[in-house]
Structure 1
Amino acid sequence: MKNIPISALIGLFLTSLYFLAALFAPMIAPYGMAEVVGDVWEPRSSEFLLGTDQIGRDLLSRMIYGGRTTIFIATAATILSFTTGSVLGFFAAVMGGWVDQVLSRFVDLMMSIPSLILALVILSSIEATVGTLIVLMGLLDSTRVYRLARAVAVDISVMDYVESARLRGEKLGWIIFREILPNALSPLVAEMGLRFIFMVLFISTLSFLGIGVQPPLADWGGIVKENKEGINFGIGAALWPAVAIATLAISVNLVADWILNRTTSLKGGRG
């Protein structure tokens, strides 16, 4: 931590700021999430720091609560994606044979269908609750994680220390979680940052299309959808969520790059 670069420090600060704001949203938001407090699209003022939205709600409060919803869903979906995809990828690489072939061909089939189109089809026939969105997004994205985890695990599984573990009679769980996982963390950590941002963009896209987060909950994509007509009148209420998504994406990627470089240098030092 003493040698942390300025870029990673900025990324850590901004990422922490967003997550803390999401965690303590009810305590720091000036108004309620759905509380109408002013006129339509009021300009910025000391009372409304970002102005108001299309029905007179405080935009800053909507942004804070919307960030809470967006970050929570994206984080939960990313955890589910990496848990499912990495475990199945490691399992396929260690088992090999027909198990690897069946899992890999099924993943290829799922990846051949665009995730957004598949999500639109599924959400058009079921209720779009927060839990449904997390499970759907996590499982759809786990196919990408599976490909990465399997590719990394295939190279690691032929290493001498893995062969030694097999000869010692270690069980499958030991080989996956004690031999392969620690040596596959660097690419997985870097990929986790990218997948988290993809989840933020994914849920924002679904909400913009009207099938993601449903009212009365707020999220950044929904705020853009609600205020997009204001752009025709020179009102930038729809631009603030875009700025939030962009800065969050940059800050998370700065942190992920630093962690990747740090873990890689540590491995090189031990070697």
Structure 2
Amino acid sequence: MPAIKLSLLPGIAGLFLFVGVALFAPWLSPHAPDQVVGMAWDTPSALARLGTDNLGRDLLSRLIWGTRTSLAVTGLAALVAFVIGTTLGFIAGVCGGWIDQLISRINDIIMAIPTLILALIILAMLPKTLGVIIMVLGLLEATRILRVARALAVNIAAMEFIDVARMRGERLGWILMREILPNALPILIAEFALRFIFILLFLSALSFLGLGVQPPTADWGGLARDNKDGILFGIWAALIPGAAIALLALCINMLADWLVGNNARAWGGRSHD
């Protein structure tokens, strides 16, 4: 692993900060996330460092617990999207023929429908539990990863070491895991980071519209929804989760760019026979 550049330290520190807040939320939070500690939209004080929200709850506590909820749901949804999209994309790219056509055409049909509208329709019919939200977000974002994974698999499958593996009688699963995946990994890392941010924005948008994480559970989109009316009175609580999303996106993109730039030459085109 190459040395870490000094310019990456802010990104690493920021990412560790978010993960640390999510992991240690019960110990970092001054109050319970649903505890009323004052009047609506009180100014910052010793009792509420960032002030209170529309119901008089400590905004800092809800932001801390919202970080845990948002990162957990986003991370699990990104993992679901990565596993499903990568697997189906590799199968379509390596097998070709009618299997490729079937997977690709179904994927194109799903992608033809605006993602937000499709998510709203699905979530309007299903219970809005965290498990359902994770699966819906993961399945919808898997369509984007599938296209990237398929394009990578088509290019890698045309190389000679894949023909050698086939002539040796290696099974499809072995070829996908030992030959295709290691050579596609650098680009997939960048795609995973990009999808993580898009899923986080997607989740926040759904929560803002009332079809994401349901009250009283705190998440970044819910915080923006609860406090949006405060902007009319000069209360900027609704902008705090937006700033958190922007900072997290910057940290993840910095690290993803570094990983891809330093490992593409080492991983790309390498056979694992």
TM-score range, shorter-chain basis?
Answer: over 0.9
Aligned to 2:234: 234
Establish whether residue 108 from structure 1 lines up as the match of residue 123 from structure 2.
no
Alpha-carbon distance in structure 1 between the residues aligned to 2:140 and 2:268: 34
Aligned 1:256-267 pairs, distance under 5 A: 256-267=256-267
Measured after TM superposition, the shift of residue 165 of structure 1 is 0.3
Do the aligned residues in 2 keep the contact of 1:7 with 1:254 (CA within 8 Å)? Answer: no
| Greater relative contact order structure (CA < 8 Å, 6+ sep) | 1
Q: Runs of at least 4 residues of structure 1 off by over 3 A?
A: 267-271
Measured after TM superposition, the shift of residue 268 of structure 1 is 7.1
Structure 2 unaligned spans of 5+: none
Farther off after superposition, 194-203 or 1-10: 1-10
Aligned to 1:149: 149
Please give the TM-score of this superposition, normalised by the length of structure 2.
0.96
Secondary structure of the structure 1 residue equivalent to 2:237: coil
Measured after TM superposition, the shift of residue 3 of structure 1 is 2.9
Amino acid at match of 2:213: V
Measured after TM superposition, the shift of residue 262 of structure 1 is 1.5
How many aligned residue pairs are there? Answer: 271
Measured after TM superposition, the shift of residue 267 of structure 1 is 3.9
Percentage identity across aligned positions? 52
Aligned 1:173-192 pairs, distance under 5 A: 173-192=173-192
Aligned to 1:165: 165
Secondary structure of the structure 2 residue equivalent to 1:124: helix
Alpha-carbon distance in structure 1 between the residues aligned to 2:85 and 2:269: 29
Please give the TM-score of this superposition, normalised by the length of structure 1.
0.97
Alpha-carbon distance in structure 2 between the residues aligned to 1:187 and 1:83: 15
Deviations 1:118-147 (A, max 9, x none): 000111111111000000000011000000
Farther off after superposition, 259-268 or 164-173: 259-268
Structure 1 unaligned spans of 5+: none
Measured after TM superposition, the shift of residue 2 of structure 1 is 6.3
Do the aligned residues in 1 keep the contact of 2:78 with 2:195 (CA within 8 Å)? Answer: yes
Amino acid at match of 1:45: S
Alpha-carbon distance in structure 1 between the residues aligned to 2:193 and 2:65: 22
Measured after TM superposition, the shift of residue 7 of structure 1 is 3.3
Aligned 1:73-222 pairs, distance under 5 A: 73-222=73-222
Aligned-residue CA RMSD (Å): 1.5
Deviations 1:100-130 (A, max 9, x none): 0010011000000011000001111111110
Measured after TM superposition, the shift of residue 88 of structure 1 is 0.6
Alpha-carbon distance in structure 2 between the residues aligned to 1:20 and 1:254: 19
Aligned to 1:29: 29
